[in-house]
Amino acid sequence: MPSLADKKIVVGITGGIAAYKSAELVRRLMDHGAGVQVVMTDAAKAFITPLTLQALSGRPVRDTLLDSSAESGMGHIEIARWADHLVVAPASADFIARLASGMASDLLATVCLATSAPIILAPAMNQGMWRKSATQRNIATLMADGITIVGPASGEQACGDVGPGRMLEPSEIISHLTRTGNNHSLDGASVTITAGPTWEALDPVRALSNHSSGKMGYAVAIAAAAAGAAVTLISGPTALNPPPGIQYRPVQSAEEMLAAVEQDIDTCNVFIGVAAVADYRPLRSETSKIKKHSDSVTLELVRTPDILARVAQHTKRPFTVGFAAETDRAIPNAREKLHNKGLDLIAVNQVDETNNPFGSEENHLILISKTDEIDLGRDSKTVLAEKLISEIAHRYHDEYSA
Ligand code: CTP
């Protein structure tokens, strides 16, 4: 595991019962040899005292934005510049909302806004608050802004509810921290990723599409960039913002997606097809809105190009990775796709009543190659994307050094 020794880490603590775990997080970071500056919100101080965290970190806790004595020493911009990493644990729904809207209403939010260090948030809240669409929208915004979200875990909550919203354990947060910013596994590699659905026009106002939100593909793009790759993200229509530091090419149809991929096919080292490409498009796309003149209509559909297969069969092919969403016989079907399309790897997710990744923050992925099969487990799309990129990186290097 890469070392945290001598790393300067700002631990942000917001209001929530999980704040008691922050003390252990600080203690463990100190055990790793990191320097820790704790920044607390007012609500956090209702759950744990600054004195405890000062004793554990060996530094006075900072909690006030406009504190004249502190600002003359280490002011909020200095804290933002000092940090190699920023971890907010627990991150409450309120703090997540403030960060997603770019507010600088207290010291912690201001430091997060001012820093160029990687930020990790470990959300903790009631399961209903976590599931609420406002929170999910804010999380999607933060992910698209390049912030890493770890957890929350599911289980029994302090309020008696059962569901997602428990803060990850300090040891799990530290393991994410050691991966972020310490990972150079794809340094120098150029990676092209497709994401989101495609939109196959029927007329100027209607189209055939699917439920893909693009979250998995965007998380893979962010993880590849964090691993040092030069990333191009070719995305169908989604509600997500283009991640920073990534070359972004928006497209609509499968034909347009193929044309965008073909621009990179000779130069990219790794291709990852995460997009849920429509398999069929209307034979004709009308130039005027189709009017409802009769009780039924028959659409004639034709196949779209298989972008992934085209890449895999290209003479100068990149290391090629596909995705498969399957409702039946997930593993055998994915194996068939691996073989028929000529892929190096395929990540398969079973779609059923216990796992419907479309639009969700979580997924369960199994990775299949010609020689092995690895269960990446059920986790947030951010964590799965990091695990996937780490597997791709070592297999890609093995292939090239062979
Ligand atoms: N894919 C693609 N172009 C298409 C269809 C799929 O690039 N026209 C890619 C997807 O991005 C994904 C993989 O192929 O990486 C598998 O997609 P999936 O829809 O699961 O499989 P299909 O090949 O379309 O087969 P089927 O729909 O019959 O399961």
Q: What confidence category does residue 46 fall into, taking pLDDT thresholds of 50, 70 and 90?
A: very high
Residue identified by tokens 């802004």 is: 145
Q: How far apart are CA 71 and CA 382, in angstroms?
A: 35
Looking at residue 160, the DSSP 8-state letter turns out to be: S
Ligand 1 in contact with 258 (CB < 6 A)? no
Dist. CA 338 → ligand 1 center (Å): 11
The predicted pLDDT at position 1 comes to 44
* pLDDT tens for each residue of 348-371: 998 887 777 777 778 899 999 999
Residue tagged active-site, from 46, 51, 159, 239: 159
**Dist. CA 277 → ligand 1 center (Å):** 6
User: Is 159 a catalytic site residue?
Assistant: yes
Q: What is the pLDDT of residues 238-266, one digit of tens each?
A: 998 887 678 999 999 999 999 999 999 99
Give the position, in ligand 1's atom list, of the atom nearest the Cα of 279. Answer: 8
What is the CB-side half-sphere exposure of residue 387 using CA atoms within 13 A? 20
Phi, psi of 302 (to 5 degrees): -125, 155
- CA-CA distance, 359 to 198, in Å (whole number)? 15
200, 234, 279, 338: residue to mutate for ligand 1 pocket, most atoms within 8 A of CB: 279
Contact yes or no for 387/224 (Cβ under 8 A) = no
CA 188 – ligand 1 centroid, Å = 28
Residue found by looking up tokens 């972008």 in the block? 307
- Give me the half-sphere count of Cα atoms (radius 13 Å) on the Cβ side of residue 127: 12
How many whole angstroms from 74 Cα to the centroid of ligand 1?
53
350 vs 36, which has greater pLDDT?
Answer: 36
Residue 267 has pLDDT above 70, yes or no: yes
Phi, psi for 309 (deg, rounded to 5): -65, -40
Q: Which of 4-8, 176-180, 208-212, 371-375 has the least mean pLDDT?
A: 176-180
Distance CA 392, CA 365 (A): 14
Answering whether pTM is above 0.85, one says no
Cβ-in-10-Å burial (0-12, 13-18, 19+) of 54 comes to middle
Q: Which two tokens stand for residue 263?
A: 């621009």
Of the residues 193, 308, 345, 351, which should be mutated to test ligand 1's pocket, given the most ligand atoms within 8 Å of the CB? 308
Domains and CATH numbers, the chain: 8-182 (3.40.50.1950), 190-401 (3.40.50.10300)
Q: At CA 324, angle to CA 140 and CA 272, rounded to 5?
A: 65
Query: Could you tell me the maximum CA-CA distance found in the chain, to the nearest angstrom?
Result: 77
